Every structure is written in C-alpha cells, then in structure tokens.
C-alpha cells in the first residue's frame, strides 16, 4: 500500500533547517547546542513515526518536483530505506551529545555542528531517495558537506587528507552519474521502487560495464579495496566525525548504494543471469581479509579502527553480492550491527584521547583500571566484531554464513571464519593491554571520561548486546531487514 505523506521530505528538511540555524547561532553556545539537539530529536521523531507503518507494509512517498517527465526529485520510504534512516538518525542523536562534550575546547564550532547537521540531512535523503537521481543528488551533497568536517583541524595533514577524500569521492560520484544517465537511456526510468528496472535487451557486455561503473562509484565510499585509500587518511578528523561519518553515514551511504543497485536497479534475476556478482563477492572477500591483516599492523588506535571498518563494510557488499535471501538479510542487518559496534569503538578511542591524550595502542597498558566503563564498552564491541553469540556481530555472521552455504560456495564461509579469527587477533590484544598489563608498582586510579562522552558510549554498547540477544523481537532492525528482503526476492 502506498501513501502520499510529507514526512519523507520533512525528515531531511528539518535537519537541514536546523543546520542553518546552527550556522546563525555562531559562537552562542547555548543556541548552538539547542539547535543541534533539536535537529537530532525532531529528525529521529519523524523517522520513527513512520516505523510502525513500514513494518505493516505501508510505503510512504512524496514527489517533490519533476524536471521533465520521469526525471525529478522524489522520496519514498520502504523497508531498506527506513532501516538505513533509522540507524543514521538514532546514532546521530547519540553522536551529537558526544560531540558537544568532545568539541568543548575546539575552534570553529558553529561550522562544525552546522555541517554535522547537514550531513545527517543528506544521509536521510539518501535513505529515502525514490530514484537514482535523487540518490545521486544527496550522495554528492554528502561529499561536499563532509569536506569541512574532514579538514576541520586545518593542519597541512588535514588539508591533504581532505584533498584525497574529495578526489576519491568525487571521481566515484562521476561514475554514479554516468551510470545513472546510461540507466535512464536504457530503462526509461530511474525509480528504485521495483525489483530491477533493467533487462537483458541492453546487452550482456553493456550491463556488465554498467554494473562495474556503479560498483566503482558507490564502492569508493564503501571503501572496497583498492578504492579505500581515503578512509585511513581521513581519520585526522575529530573523533565524532570519524565515528558518525566514517563508520556510519558516509561509508554506509556507499554500501547502501550498492544494495540499491543490486536489488532495485539490476534485480536478483538479472544479476544471476549476468554472473557478475560473484566477482564482486570475490573482491569483497579479498577486502575483508586483507584489510584485517593490515589492521593487525597498525599501532594508532584510530587507524586500526579505520582498517577494521574497511574490512567490516565489505561484509555488507559480500552479503549483497551472494544474491541469496539469507545473505541479503545478513548484509542489511549488518548496516545496523556494524554501525553500533564501530561507533562504540570510535567513542572509546575519542574518550581516551580526550581524557588521557593517548592515541596509540601500545600506550594503553592498564587503561581498563583508569576508565573501566569506557573499556567495558570497548570489550562488548570487540566481542561483537569477533562474532561471539549474544552480540550484534553474531547475527550478521550467522546469516551471512547461511547465505554463503545457500550458494554452495564454501569458500565464503571460510572467509568469514578467517575474518573472525583476524578480528580476535587485533582486538583481543587491546583488551589484554587494558586489563591485564599493568606496570608493576603502579596503582592506577579511576579517572573516567566526562559524562557527555561516557553516556553515549555505554548506550551504544548496551544496544550492541540488545541487537544480538533480542534480534527476533518485533520492531528490532532484523524485522525491518526481513521485510526488505522479502520484497527483493519476491516472497
């Protein structure tokens, strides 16, 4: 059932407006905080109010404007879009609280929080895009809005990282735009409301190239190797930016784009005929393993996180590329699982940096006694990445493995197990350092992070456990992901 409703438009517009109000608040700290938090709450409220309907199979849509017949800006809330929007907007609220605490002593805060709000507005726009053009539009806006956040420190290193970021993502954007234009020529429509708009009449070779173009375009933000170069260098940005944008919004926008291309533009059947998705799965597997190996060698906390992100994102790509219902379910649900786990870790890294000034892993000896709650949260997230049952990561691994077995390619199960082992190999030593390696004779005393940093971290960690243990409860992300998968596979 499709319903015309203003809310799909309202969600991005409200946060956009608040973003501008933040700019105008300037250095008046109270107003700046007020508008930042207000934007987050209103945005979450609007998105959340559509959840019951979406779970019942209602689809909300709103056509904003049409340039020429068939080309225009339109919004549409289906299960997959809702899933992404819900994850982004709830994490945004948490991150805003964290950022207010974290950025206390920073410069240019109006610019920071203003663009922060704009980014989430564009992310919601990506989630609710009804057609490829709208999706592209917000995808590019996201690039522009994140640039000031990446170069926030204004150091030569930050400027260099920003340049790299722009080159990668804008080149990716060109591929997406090219793909969009070609799709319009072949399909005569750009809608994302169907399970495939292209068909074989366009020719096997052409379709293959088109798919590759889209994968490159979205793969840049999803950091598929070898398109990942921007992500580790972009870690110079402040911790909340890394957390929200490089573990959640930006990179997930890429992964989300790949899901849309796979299931809504090409469709499962066409991709099975083409036989190209298996190559994407191979590239994703390569990324999963190699990025994990590189993560092992990183000593800087945030850089290790960055490579872990690259590896984890490819779970989503792999799940999409396997083209089976269970793998797709694992892929979609991993959007939420990875987001909460990774944001917990980034919060921890930021809290440690702000509280103790330490940024490298070998400096963390005994930190578990100084910051017990923070490191407790970290432990939960680390166990999640390893895939221990009762944490979110287990759900992902379970469905992805089942999906891989459905295809009959056992090798992908091996990849997933290898990844678990590698995750254990680079996260467990941190926990060991934190709790079991206190220098003799030193009695560490508790010196926890400020509450604005601590509370968001703990909330996220608790949610990681909830995601893992209560996954089957209606209203949890899994039910939403299941609705999406049922639509894509037509059952």
Partner 1 sequence: MGGGQWPVVLIITPLIGAALTPILARRRPQIAGYWALFVFSIVTLAAGVLMYRVSTQGPFSYYMGGWRPPLGIELRFDEFSASIGVICLIGWLSLMFSLAYAKHALPERRIPYYFALVLLCLGGMNGFAVTGDIFNLFVFLEILSLSGYALVAITGERIAELAAFKYLVMGAISSLSILLAVGFMYALTGTLNMTDLAMRLRDVEPFPVAVAVGALTLGFSVKAALLPLHIWLPDAHSIAPSPVSAILSGLVVKIGVLGMLRMYQILYKAQIFDLSALNTTLMWLGAISIVLGALFAMVQEDIKMMLAYSTISNIGYIFMGLGLASKYGIIGASVHIFNHALIKATLFLGAGALIHQTGYRNLEDLRGVGKAMPITSAAIAIGAISIVGIPPTAGFLCKWYIALGAIEAGRLFFAVTLLFGALFIFVYYIRMLNAFYFMPPAHPEILDVGEAPVTMLIPIVVLAMLCLLMGIFGRIPLSFIEPAVTNMLAPIGG
Q: Which residues bind partner 1 (CB under 8 A)?
A: 65-68, 73, 133, 136-137, 140-141, 143-144, 148, 151, 154, 159, 162-163, 166, 170-171, 174, 177-178, 181-182, 184-185
Min separation Cβ 409 and partner 1, Å: 34
Min separation Cβ 180 and partner 1, Å: 8
Three-state secondary structure call for residue 482: helix
Min separation Cβ 22 and partner 1, Å: 14
Min separation Cβ 163 and partner 1, Å: 8
26: left (phi over 0), alpha (psi -120 to 50) or beta: left
Task: Specify the residue for token string 């996220």.
Answer: 460
Q: Closest CB to partner 1 among 105 and 185? A: 185
Q: Closest CB to partner 1 among 177 and 380? A: 177
**CA geometry: angle 451, 366, 348, nearest 5 deg:** 35
CA distance 105 to 93: 21
Kind and range of the H or E run holding 448: none
Looking only at the bridges linking them, the beta strands covering 71-77 and 59-68 are antiparallel
Q: Closest CB to partner 1 among 184 and 373? A: 184
Q: Closest CB to partner 1 among 137 and 197? A: 137
Q: Closest CB to partner 1 among 7 and 152? A: 152
CA distance 207 to 212: 9
Min separation Cβ 175 and partner 1, Å: 9
Min separation Cβ 191 and partner 1, Å: 16
178's tokens: 């090219």
DSSP β-bridge partners for residue 72: 66
Q: Closest CB to partner 1 among 151 and 416? A: 151
Helical residues (DSSP H) of 188-249, grouped into ranges: 204-221, 230-233, 239-244
CA distance 384 to 338: 9
Of the candidates 243, 121, 220, the residue with the CA atom closest to the CA atom of residue 170: 220
């Amino acid at each position: 059932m499709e319903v015309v409703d203003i809310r799909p438009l309202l969600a991005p517009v409200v946060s956009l407006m608040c973003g501008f109000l933040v700019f105008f608040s300037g250095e008046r700290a109270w107003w700046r905080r007020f508008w930042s938090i207000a934007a987050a709450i209103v945005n979450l409220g609007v998105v959340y109010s559509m959840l019951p309907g979406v779970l019942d199979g209602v689809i909300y849509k709103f056509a904003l404007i049409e340039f020429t017949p068939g080309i225009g800006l339109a919004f549409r809330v289906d299960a997959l879009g809702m899933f992404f929007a819900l994850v982004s907007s709830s994490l945004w609220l948490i991150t805003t609280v964290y950022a207010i605490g974290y950025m206390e002593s920073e410069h240019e805060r109006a610019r920071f929080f203003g663009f922060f709000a704009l980014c989430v507005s564009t992310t919601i726009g990506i989630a609710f895009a009804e057609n490829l053009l709208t999706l592209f539009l917000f995808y590019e806006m996201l690039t522009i809005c994140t640039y000031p956040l990446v170069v926030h420190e204004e150091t030569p290193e930050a400027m260099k990282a920003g340049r790299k970021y722009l080159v990668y993502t804008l080149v990716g954007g060109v591929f997406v735009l090219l793909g969009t234009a070609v799709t319009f020529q072949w399909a005569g429509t750009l809608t994302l409301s169907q399970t495939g708009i292209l068909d074989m009449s366009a020719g096997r070779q052409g379709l293959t190239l088109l798919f590759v173009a889209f994968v490159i375009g979205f793969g840049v933000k999803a950091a598929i190797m070898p398109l990942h170069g921007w992500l580790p260098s972009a870690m110079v940005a402040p911790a909340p930016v890394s957390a929200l944008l490089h573990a959640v919004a930006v990179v997930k926008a890429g992964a989300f784009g790949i899901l849309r291309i796979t299931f809504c533009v090409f469709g499962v059947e066409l991709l099975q005929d083409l036989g190209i998705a298996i190559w994407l799965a191979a590239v994703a597997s390569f990324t999963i393993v190699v990025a994990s190996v590189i993560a092992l060698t990183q000593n800087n906390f945030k850089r290790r996180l960055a490579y872990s992100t690259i590896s984890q994102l490819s779970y989503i790509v792999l799940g999409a590329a396997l083209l089976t219902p269970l793998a797709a379910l694992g892929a979609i649900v991993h959007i939420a699982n990875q987001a909460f786990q990774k944001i917990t870790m980034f919060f921890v890294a930021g809290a440690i940096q702000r509280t103790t000034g330490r940024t490298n892993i070998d400096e963390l000896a005994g930190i578990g006694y100084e910051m017990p709650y923070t490191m407790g949260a970290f432990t939960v997230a680390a166990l999640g990445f390893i895939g221990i049952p009762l944490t979110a990561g287990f759900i992902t691994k379970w469905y992805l493995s089942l999906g891989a077995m459905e295809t009959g390619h056992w090798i992908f199960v091996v990849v997933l197990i290898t990844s678990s082992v590698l995750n254990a190999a680079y996260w467990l030593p941190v926990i060991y350092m934190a709790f079991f390696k206190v220098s003799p004779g030193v009695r560490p005393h508790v010196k926890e992070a400020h509450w604005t940093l601590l509370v968001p971290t703990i909330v996220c960690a608790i949610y990681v456990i909830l995601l893992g243990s209560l996954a089957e409860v209606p209203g949890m992300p899994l039910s939403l992901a299941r609705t999406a998968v049922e639509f894509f596979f037509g059952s």
